[in-house]
Amino acid sequence: MMTVEAENVAVDPIYQVPKRLLDKASAPTPYVDSFEKYQELWKQSVEDPDTFFSNLSKELLSWSKPFTTVRSGGFEQGDVAWFLEGELNASYNCVDRHALANPNKIAIIHEGDEPNSVRNITYGELLQEVSRLANVLKSLGVRKGDNIAIYMPMIPEAVVALLACARIGAVHSVVFAGFSSDSLRDRIVDASAKVVLTADEGKRGGKAIATKRIVDQALLTAPSVESVLVFRRTGADVPWTNGRDLWWHDEMAKARPYCAPEPMNAEDPLFLLYTSGSTGTPKGVMHTTGGYLLGAGATVKYIFDYHPDDIFACMADIGWITGHTYIVYGPLTLGATTLLFESTPTYPTPSRFWEVVQQHKVTQFYTAPTAIRALRRLGDKWLDGYDLSTLRVIGSVGEPINPEAWEWYNEMVGKKNCAVVDTYWQTETGSIIVTPLPGAIATKPGSATFPFFGIKPVILDPTSGKELEGNDVTGVLAVAQPWPSMARTVYNNHHRYLDTYLRPYKGYYFTGDGASRDKDGYIWIRGRVDDVINVSGHRLSTAEIESALILHHSVAEAAVIGGHDDLTGQCIHAFTTLKPNIEDSEGLEKELALQVRKVIGPFATPKAIYCVNDLPKTRSGKIMRRILRKIVNNEADQLGDTSTLADPSVVDMLIEKVKSSQ
């Protein structure tokens, strides 16, 4: 199946596994080193998941009490559970067992915002720090099952914060530090978080971020919070609330550097992570301890072909699922050295990534298509002279990668000598679900290729919900059976969990993405089919942005859609109608963009805002976003049937408006 007929080559080039990976002299032997071996393992994993995952969980995790049942429940009731009677602690698995065996091994390399500001933390030190913070949290009254909000820059203390929560069975909810105070407040309130862990300021790309001030603003209307623990990152003067705010270093100095890990049931929650869905309010996706940790460890081992001396660099932010799984839980479960990057790909120059790879001898490098596209556009010269020869596996995540960006990554970064893994997954899947395996799967630029172990992907007809069998089919992507690291619920809202993922197509987990399986069986992700937009790999719902706009006193109605953008994948276009007697002006459009920044965060700023007289609506008043999408993406000639519009003449007005703003 891996041989390509000559006539297809021009259409879909196939890249065989790079020779270097299979050559014992130049790389450790990949765990899965042939396509046949992959197929055999995958078959076992979906046909007999009990045996497969029981063995894998014993190999990769340390259990304080063994499980007897591997798996129960299913998609029908949304009661999936794995390793039911088993007990383990995620922080023990990520820290203690490695600290005991190898205390001087580096757990975290922190590459600070400024070049050459590096801090290394060994497993021995990590155990002490995590223990201390766990004791501090206990002294603040935090107990097993309490929710803790983490709003921190990309510093080692953020990793310590996650693991300290896990150690005492508190449930962390990390909020990406680019979110506004309103967004932070909503997440704190939804989870009734008791404590917030934060810093005085963040630093990114040479600029300071007023982290503590944002927290203070959020807490004006978040009554559940009793304490705020503040790490001193820059030493800036920050506002202080006596009785609530505490300095991290003061409390840590008082705490004992050992804390016994709390035994957790495999199904006890490990964390919440809020993510955007089709409707307005973000949902608190809940992951549990055993299954999630297994997914995290297994994917780092097999998809990144992690070997003991490797240096693993995932350039994501801890505030997103990619940071949770591939900076913290996955690499640390395996006892790896993980790199934490505080800066941006272009600070101080677009060579920064390559400087980092060279300096720290990175072996696995994981980033997003947006970064790859931006660096490609800035020119190849920024890679000149850098030694990237330690790299073996380079990964991409977060959005579809266009073949041009894939080819550039493969040639300029991988030097055609690395496995390129285009990894598809979601906050809800916990870990990667569709991906190449470095030593086993030949790749096609732009395709995430084949399912990971335990994943049985299906392509469904979006209307009938029937499985589209065989190859050369397009539809929506679903998964046919439960896997260990899937989310178990939406916090305090199991209905929403069922409605979003398990009810749209009965008996399946629905991803919300469109996908094709090509003639060779390769999976191609086509992007979201719901109202979620993906800007630079950041997931946003159109409804969330619309609500932010409507909060502005001038706005009557808003409709937001995703436009195509060469750099960011998608970008936000917002159409608004104004309240009577309000005049459209450039100033107002700017003000509305600011409004979205303020309510959600800078990364959600619309690329274009159009104040218009009317929106395209059906006679029953439903906004037809499809029409807006076509107009913005220069497909106004393919609008299709507009006769269902209450007033078809709005279309010309909209086309005119968009044209004049371009």
The footprint of ligand WTA (CB under 6 A) covers 275, 320-322, 397-400, 422-427, 448, 511-513, 525, 527-528, 534, 539
Edge-to-edge strand list for the sheet holding 473-479: 457-460, 473-479, 509-517, 523-528
Whether residue 25 contacts residue 453, with contact meaning beta carbons closer than 8 Å, is answered with no
Q: Which is nearer to ligand WTA, 231 or 452 (CB)?
A: 452
CA 310 to chain centre: 23
45 or 516: whose CB is closer to ligand WTA? 516
Comparison of 351 and 423: residue with beta carbon closer to ligand WTA: 423
Q: Which of 572, 325, 530, 549 is nearest to 435 (CA)?
A: 325
Between 30 and 430, name the residue whose CB sits nearer to ligand WTA.
430
Q: Min. distance of Cβ 537 from ligand WTA in angstroms?
A: 7
- Report, in Å, the least distance between residue 396 CB and ligand WTA: 6
**How far apart (Å, rounded) are the C-alpha atoms in residues 431 and 427?**
8
Rounded to a whole number of angstroms, the minimum distance from the CB of residue 55 to ligand WTA is: 27
To the nearest whole angstrom, how small is the minimum distance from the Cβ of residue 475 to ligand WTA?
15
Task: Give the type of residue at 392.
Answer: R
Q: How far is the CB of 565 from ligand WTA (least distance, A)?
A: 15
Cis-peptide, bond into residue 348, ω within 30° of zero: yes
Element (H, E) at 628: helix 625-632
Q: How far is the CB of 388 from ligand WTA (least distance, A)?
A: 22
**Closest residue to ligand WTA: CB criterion:** 427
Contact 433, 442 (CB under 8 A): no
Residue nearer to ligand WTA on the CB measure, 98 or 538: 538
Q: Give 80 or 397: the residue with its C-beta nearer to ligand WTA.
A: 397
Three-state DSSP class for residue 212:
helix
Q: Please, which residue, 363 or 511, has the CB nearer to ligand WTA?
A: 511
Task: Tell me how far, at minimum, the Cβ of 59 lies from ligand WTA, in Å.
Answer: 25
Least distance CB 188 / ligand WTA (angstroms): 20
Q: What's the burial of 168, exposed, middle or buried (CB within 10 Å: 0-12/13-18/19+)?
A: buried
Of residues 151 and 320, the one with the C-beta less far from ligand WTA: 320
The span from the CA of 439 to the CA of 178, in Å, is 37
Strand-strand pairing, 264-265 and 509-517? unpaired
User: What are the distances in angstroms from CA 271 to CA 158, 167, 268, 376, 661?
Assistant: 14, 12, 9, 36, 44
User: What is the DSSP pairing of strand 364-367 with strand 337-341?
Assistant: unpaired
C-beta of residue 107 within 8 angstroms of C-beta of residue 337: yes
- Can you say how many angstroms the Cα of residue 456 is from the centroid of all Cα atoms in its chain? 21
Minimum separation from the CB atom of position 244 to ligand WTA (A)? 32
Torsion of CA 529, 533, 539, 544, to 10 degrees: -110
Give the CA count within 13 Å in the CB-facing half-sphere of 133: 31
Residues in the chain: 662
DSSP 607: S
Decide: 382 and 401 in contact? Cβ < 8 Å: no
Contact 337, 106 (CB under 8 A): yes
| Identity of the residue, 480 or 582, whose beta carbon is nearer to ligand WTA in the bound complex | 480
Give Cα separations from 465 to 480, 509, 529 (angstroms): 12, 12, 14
The residue among 227 and 485 lying less far from ligand WTA, judged by its C-beta, is 485
Minimum CB–partner distance for residue 428 and ligand WTA (Å): 7
State the minimum distance, in angstroms, from the CB of residue 498 to ligand WTA.
18
Q: What's CA 494's distance to the chain center, in Å? A: 22
Nearest approach, Cβ of 82 to ligand WTA (angstroms)? Answer: 21
Taken in order 322, 149, 594, 616, the sign of the CA dihedral is positive
Residue closer to ligand WTA (CB basis): 188 or 533:
533
Amino acid letter, residue 76: E
Of 49 and 436, which CB lies nearer to ligand WTA in the complex structure?
Answer: 436
Cβ proximity to ligand WTA, 64 vs 402, nearer residue: 402
Shortest Cβ distance from residue 13 to ligand WTA (Å)?
18
